[in-house]
Amino acid sequence: MEKKPIRKSPAGVTRRDFIKGMGTGALGTAVLPPLLGQTIATRKGRVPVYDKKTIALTVNGRKVSLEVGANETLLDVLRDRLDLTGAKKVCDRGECGGCTVHLDGEPVYACMVLAIRADGRTVKTVEGLADDDKLHPVQEAFIEKDGYQCGFCTPGFLMTTSAFLEKNPAPTLDEIKQALSGNLCRCGNYAKLYEAVETAAKKLRGA
Ligand code: FES
Ligand code: FES
């Protein structure tokens, strides 16, 4: 059978190179070098390709600037470079919610956000939830209702809940279940977690 000719992109990258790079997690070695310094087309227009970039973040109210690699996640930058280890690296693949932080007020899995995508944005981690010594009402409710158990899942639940209640201060039980569906508790403490969220909502409403 006649072999199809191998088609290369203008930057000299074949589809096979790309898949190989993704498969080994070695995007940087297989694909990036030919593209560095160039721009590539995306749905949002052409974007530059970096290997490193200096980014500016506001983290828990503090402005920081640091150079990050193109493949560094926001979670790794928070934990390994900024010593903010509250967001947990549990699955590292967007499945458990243990790494949840707020990015411009929205809950995100920090393990699934490249640090360069957070450039210029505001990040809040669980370390920034309390107001100095005064716990956030969500933290108080988790303690009161035994929603708080292990240190792996709890930070993510707190961040998801606090962002959710900002948008929906009087949720139904179904809405609470839906909001927490991206956070996993392996021991199945869900009944107490839902109760904690209901209590937190009341506290935030002053009810
Ligand atoms: S560690 Fe990010 S979703 Fe599990
Ligand atoms: S209490 Fe953390 S996994 Fe269940």
What are the phi and psi torsion angles at 201 (to 5°)? -60, -45
Q: Which ligand is nearest to the CA of 160?
A: 1
pLDDT at residue 157, rounded to an integer? 97
Helix (H) or strand (E) holding 190: helix 190-205
Out of 48-52, 84-88, 109-113, 142-146, least confident range: 48-52
Helix (H) or strand (E) holding 191: helix 190-205
DSSP state of 157: H
pLDDT at residue 189, rounded to an integer? 87
- Report the candidate in 124, 155, 152 with the shortest Cα–Cα distance to residue 142: 155
Rounded Cα gap, residues 57 and 189, in angstroms: 34
pLDDT at residue 48, rounded to an integer? 77
- Report the candidate in 37, 33, 58 with the shortest Cα–Cα distance to residue 49: 37
Pocket probe for ligand 1: among 92, 160, 186, the residue whose CB has the most ligand atoms within 8 Å is 92
Nearest-atom number in ligand 2 for the CA of 148 is 1
**pLDDT tens digits along 11-69:** 444 445 434 434 334 444 445 566 777 888 888 888 877 789 999 999 999 999 999 99
Q: What is the mean pLDDT of the chain?
A: 87
**C-alpha 67 to ligand 2 mean position (Å):** 34
Q: Can you read off the two tokens belonging to residue 85? A: 């280890």
